[in-house]
């Protein structure tokens, strides 16, 4: 039975590769039912197979080795030059946006398959197998005392037991007799010999069930819609919340069947969400939703006359960008641990500056990562829109158009059409004594058809934080420099604007706090969160019709100010998360 399952996996891999060559892995969508709560839960139209992301592959290899060898010896293997090189050479996932969008998206949505994915996993499996099999001490850790004792009578049992234990980790499920026989038959050498161990490890780490999420559903299910097996559910949960394979407690819940009960399943969801291992996935989701990885490196600008004059005594390093973005991840982790809400992500005023340089930019004490974080000392710093990750640009220019686009498109899920054909066709004379706002207004609000978007949808949302410079420092005036870095003037900044968060809203604002309140009043932030979290969870675009129940449940939970922890966990409690459609 399992051999059939294994063979089916190989066929599905081939099918995936062939469909990927055509550029369309899912085919045309079927006609969806009306939106709302369906009488039978709607399961997302899924990819035939989802593969491990680059992050998930690295985490999985690390944890398989750690749980079989122990952390110290696992680190030795991971630091092997070939292993480290192979893990780094696994093709980097690309951030895939929804159709019609040129920005945003999530790395999980990249399900493209390249030869490099196969080559890397193959070479990695061979090298790890060699390192584990050729070392007597490691064979002892893997197989136990039976691998190195004087008796040969127990060698067969020793190898079979190892196949079962190692396969349970690498393939993320329990192996039955057919599985064990399949891997045992691949070994013609003496059972506990170096080559025997090497073959088993290499075969399992190059198996389709290691690289892919191979799901078959309940064997007795009728029709195409079926709930996943306990071990398939365990893998979905673990990789969604932890980005790695199930731990022993989750695997035991799958083995016992407790994971298939409502109480047992909910208990595991709450445990995974509350574990520190969820921090990586949480940070990944919010970082990609907010497009923090778009921030340029700062240290590469050092030496530019304008940037050097602008930055003053602040000298960025290679770690500056990572520390700035990490502050938002720390914010989310802190809110989740204290029952904060999604709205608190926008409004919380604690500073999570772990480095002296970030603390200096904020003007707050450095945070030690454990105690109560300090609050912003500047009253104008009102929350997410005034965090350095949202303000800094990696240059001396505040780039209000880009900031406005990110708020409109990423936080509110508003669509912005591409620039018109006549954009920037007329030359505009610009004085070096103009502020950034004045330059943007002259370039985008006075010619062609540009004003139709810029004047109402883009520029105002960017102008409202012009009282912070391109390093995120508060200011009331803008210092103006010529191309040599010489100061040529200083002008007051203006933040008054009409952001039009929703169509027809003509209320004016002059601070980020006021815009934040308009965003919260609109309800669009919560609706946008639901869409973004759906894409992150299911690795595909949503359909308002067929996925309406999930979207409405997520946005309703967020709007009702349930804890962020509960809202993020709720998607796994949906029947759509626990089932698969095999149409």
Hey, what long-range contacts does 3-10 have (CB within 8 A, 24 or more apart)?
3/178, 3/179, 3/182, 5/214, 5/216, 6/179, 6/182, 6/207, 6/208, 6/209, 8/216, 9/207, 9/208, 9/209, 9/212, 9/214, 10/208
Distances (CA, A) of 300 to 133, 297, 307, 318, 470: 45, 6, 10, 8, 15
Cβ atoms 37, 1 nearer than 8 A: no
3-class DSSP state of 489 = strand
Give the tens place of pLDDT for each residue, 496-514: 999 999 999 999 999 999 9
Region 370-376: mean pLDDT is 97
* Cβ neighbours for 107, distance < 8 A, ≥ 6 positions apart: 53, 54, 55, 93, 94, 95, 96, 284, 288
User: What is the C-alpha separation between 493 and 145, in angstroms, rounded?
Assistant: 73
Instruction: Record the pTM.
Output: 0.89
Tell me which of 190-199, 410-419, 525-534, 556-565 is least confident: 410-419
Q: Give the per-residue pLDDT at 32.
A: 38
Region 482-492: mean pLDDT is 96
Give the tens place of pLDDT for each residue, 151-168: 999 999 999 999 999 999
For the chain, the average pLDDT equals: 90
Q: 425: pLDDT confidence band, cut at 50, 70 and 90?
A: low
Residue 21 has pLDDT above 60, yes or no: no
What kind and span of H or E run contains 453? helix 451-453
Residue 197 has pLDDT above 70, yes or no: yes
Tell me which of 140-144, 348-352, 426-430 is least confident: 426-430
The values of phi and psi at residue 146, to 5°, are: -65, -15
Give the tens place of pLDDT for each residue, 65-78: 999 999 999 999 99
The values of phi and psi at residue 494, to 5°, are: -115, 135
Alpha helices, DSSP H, located in 25-154 = 54-69, 71-78, 81-89, 115-133, 136-143
Q: Percent helix, strand and coil across the chain, each rounded to 5? A: 55, 5, 40
Give the tens place of pLDDT for each residue, 243-291: 999 999 999 999 999 999 999 999 999 999 999 999 999 999 999 999 9
Domain boundaries defined on the chain: 2-31+50-213, 228-274, 281-328+350-515
Q: Give the per-residue pLDDT at 13.
A: 41
Cβ atoms 518, 501 nearer than 8 A: yes
Q: What percent of the chain has pLDDT over 90?
A: 81
Cβ neighbours around 231 below 10 Å, total: 20
Residue 221 has pLDDT above 90, yes or no: no
| Strand 487-492 with 477-481, pairing | antiparallel
Q: Give the per-residue pLDDT at 453.
A: 87
Q: 8: pLDDT confidence band, cut at 50, 70 and 90?
A: very low
Fill in the DSSP letter of residue 405.
H
Q: Give the per-residue pLDDT at 553.
A: 98
Q: Give the per-residue pLDDT at 427.
A: 63
Report the candidate in 30, 44, 59 with the shortest Cα–Cα distance to residue 245: 59
Give the tens place of pLDDT for each residue, 444-461: 988 766 887 899 999 999
Cβ neighbours around 468 below 10 Å, total: 25
Q: Give the per-residue pLDDT at 173.
A: 95
Region 45-73: mean pLDDT is 92
Give the tens place of pLDDT for each residue, 302-353: 999 999 999 999 999 999 999 999 999 999 999 999 999 999 999 999 999 9
Report the candidate in 334, 537, 503 with the shortest Cα–Cα distance to residue 414: 503
């Amino acid at each position: 039975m399992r051999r059939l399952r294994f063979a089916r996996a190989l066929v599905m891999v081939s099918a995936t590769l062939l469909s990927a060559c055509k550029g369309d892995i899912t085919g045309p969508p079927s006609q969806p039912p009306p939106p709302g709560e369906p009488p039978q839960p709607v399961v997302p139209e899924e990819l035939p197979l989802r593969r491990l992301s680059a992050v998930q592959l690295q985490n999985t290899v690390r944890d398989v080795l750690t749980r079989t060898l122990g952390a110290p010896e696992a680190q030795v293997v991971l630091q092997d030059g070939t292993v480290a090189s192979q893990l780094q050479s696994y093709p980097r996932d690309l951030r895939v946006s929804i159709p019609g969008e040129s920005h945003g998206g999530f790395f999980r949505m990249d399900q493209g398959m390249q030869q490099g994915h196969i080559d890397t996993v193959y070479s990695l499996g061979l090298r790890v197998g060699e390192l584990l099999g050729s070392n007597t001490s490691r064979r002892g850790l893997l197989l136990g005392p039976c691998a190195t004792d004087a008796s040969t009578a127990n060698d067969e049992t020793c190898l079979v037991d190892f196949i079962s234990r190692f396969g349970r980790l690498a393939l993320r499920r329990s192996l039955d007799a057919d599985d064990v026989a399949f891997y045992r038959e691949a070994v013609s050498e003496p059972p506990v010999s170096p080559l025997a161990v090497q073959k088993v490890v290499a075969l399992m780490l190059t198996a389709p069930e290691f690289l892919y999420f191979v799901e078959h559903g309940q064997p007795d299910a009728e029709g195409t819609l079926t709930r996943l097996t306990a071990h398939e559910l365990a893998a979905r949960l673990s990789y969604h919340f932890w980005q790695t394979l199930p731990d022993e407690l989750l695997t035991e819940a799958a083995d016992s069947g407790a994971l298939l009960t409502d109480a047992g399943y909910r208990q595991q969801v709450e445990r995974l969400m509350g574990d520190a291992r969820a921090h990586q996935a949480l940070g990944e989701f919010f970082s990609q939703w907010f497009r923090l990885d778009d921030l340029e490196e700062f240290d590469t600008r050092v030496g530019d006359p304008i940037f050097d004059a602008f930055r003053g005594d602040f000298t960025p390093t290679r770690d500056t960008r990572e520390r700035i973005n990490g502050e938002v991840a720390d914010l989310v982790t802190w809110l989740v641990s204290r029952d904060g809400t999604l709205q608190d992500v926008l409004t919380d005023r604690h500073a999570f500056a772990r480095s002296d340089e970030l603390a200096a930019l904020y003007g707050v004490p450095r945070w030690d990562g454990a105690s109560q974080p300090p609050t912003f000392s500047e009253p104008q710093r009102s929350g997410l829109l005034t965090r350095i990750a949202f303000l800094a640009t990696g240059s001396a220019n505040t780039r209000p158009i880009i900031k406005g686009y990110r708020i409109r498109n990423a936080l509110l899920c508003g669509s912005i059409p591409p620039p018109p054909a006549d954009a920037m066709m007329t030359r505009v004379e610009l004085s070096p004594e103009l502020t950034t706002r004045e330059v943007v207004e002259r370039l985008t609000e006075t010619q062609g058809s540009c004003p139709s978007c810029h004047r109402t949808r883009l520029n105002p949302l960017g102008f409202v934080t012009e009282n912070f410079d391109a390093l995120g420092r508060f200011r009331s005036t803008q210092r103006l420099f010529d191309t040599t870095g010489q100061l040529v003037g200083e002008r007051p900044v203006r933040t008054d604007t009409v952001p039009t968060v929703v169509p027809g809203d003509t209320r004016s604002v002059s601070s980020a706090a006021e815009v934040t309140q308009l965003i919260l009043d609109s309800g669009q932030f919560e609706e946008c969160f639901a869409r973004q979290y759906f894409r992150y969870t299911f690795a595909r675009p949503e359909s308002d019709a067929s996925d309406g129940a999930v979207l409405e449940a997520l946005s309703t939970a967020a709007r009702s100010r349930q804890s962020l922890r509960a809202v993020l966990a709720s998607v796994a409690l949906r029947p759509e998360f626990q089932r698969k459609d095999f149409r």
